[in-house]
């Protein structure tokens, strides 16, 4: 189960201020930079969109992963999303779909995907600056994504911050997220990258 908060960031410098603040910096245990490029897929009859999900093949530096996300539950005025997420390492989308049931994805749904023609919906290309945080009884990842998304011939900008739960206390994770939102006056982003891409 994926659980994350997402916020709009107006400009990259705003994230730098937050990341270097006296509140956030002491929580950081590790920092990484990832170059991300993802292609999103659906069937001709919109099987994935009908369940409000997402299916993507994403390159993360040198690693390629296939991810299936299913319907999200929204909380905290849309800033927080919780949803089923299944991910495997695979070189192409169909190889990944075949493996997804082994990590818990619904077998019937994956079988339907395998029997359908998959159509690329669009792409995202961005750099992710990620920090692992330890806050009270939880661990989480704070990341800033900056880049672009494409759908048909249209192009949009990605400039957002996410806080993703990794382990420990759900209560402490939510507390940290709400504290960040209030302290830095963050604007909730209720839509996923896929949803925004499809609205271009």
**5 in Cβ contact with 160 (< 8 Å):** no
pLDDT in tens, 39-62: 999 999 999 999 999 999 999 998
Tokens of 48: 């994935």
Please, which pLDDT band fits residue 1 given cuts at 50, 70 and 90? confident
**Mean pLDDT of the residues in the chain:** 95
pLDDT at 82: 87
The whole-number pLDDT of residue 81 equals: 82
Sequence-separated (6 or more) residues with CB below 8 Å from residue 95: 66
What pTM was estimated for this model as a whole? 0.92
Residue scoring higher pLDDT (75 or 175): 175
- 187 pLDDT band, cuts 50/70/90, is very high
Contact 113, 49 (CB under 8 A): no
Helix (H, G, I), strand (E, B) or coil at 15: helix
pLDDT at 156: 97
Work out the average pLDDT over 83-96.
96
- What is the structure's pLDDT at 112? 97
What residues contact 165, with CB distance under 8 A and at least 6 apart? 2, 3, 4, 138, 140, 173
pLDDT at 197: 95
Residue 53's SS3 state is coil
Distance of CA 31 to the CA centre of its chain: 18
Q: Give the pLDDT confidence score for residue 88 in this predicted structure.
A: 98
Q: Check residue 162 and give its pLDDT.
A: 97
Confidence at 66, pLDDT banded by 50, 70, 90:
very high
Query: 2-198 falls under which CATH superfamily?
Result: Hypothetical Protein Pfu-838710-001 (2.40.320.10)
How far, in Å, CA of 71 to CA of 60, rounded?
24
């Amino acid at each position: 189960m994926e659980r994350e908060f997402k916020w709009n960031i107006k400009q990259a410098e705003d994230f730098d201020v937050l990341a270097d603040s006296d509140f956030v910096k002491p929580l950081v245990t590790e920092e990484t930079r990832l170059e991300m490029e993802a292609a999103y897929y659906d069937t001709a009859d919109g099987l994935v969109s009908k369940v409000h999900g997402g299916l993507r093949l994403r390159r993360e530096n040198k690693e390629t992963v296939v991810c299936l996300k299913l319907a999200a539950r929204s909380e905290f005025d849309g800033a927080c999303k919780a949803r089923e997420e299944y991910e495997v390492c695979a070189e192409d989308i169909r190889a990944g779909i075949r493996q997804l049931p082994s990590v818990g994805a619904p077998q019937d749904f994956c079988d339907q995907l395998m029997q359908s023609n998959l159509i690329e919906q669009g792409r995202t290309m961005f750099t992710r600056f990620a920090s692992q945080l330890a806050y009270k009884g939880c661990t989480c990842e704070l990341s800033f994504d900056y880049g672009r998304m494409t759908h048909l011939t249209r192009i949009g900008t990605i400039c957002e911050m996410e806080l993703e739960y990794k382990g420990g206390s759900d209560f402490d994770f939510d507390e940290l997220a709400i504290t960040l939102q209030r302290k830095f006056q963050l604007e909730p982003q209720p839509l996923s990258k896929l949803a925004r891409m499809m609205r271009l």
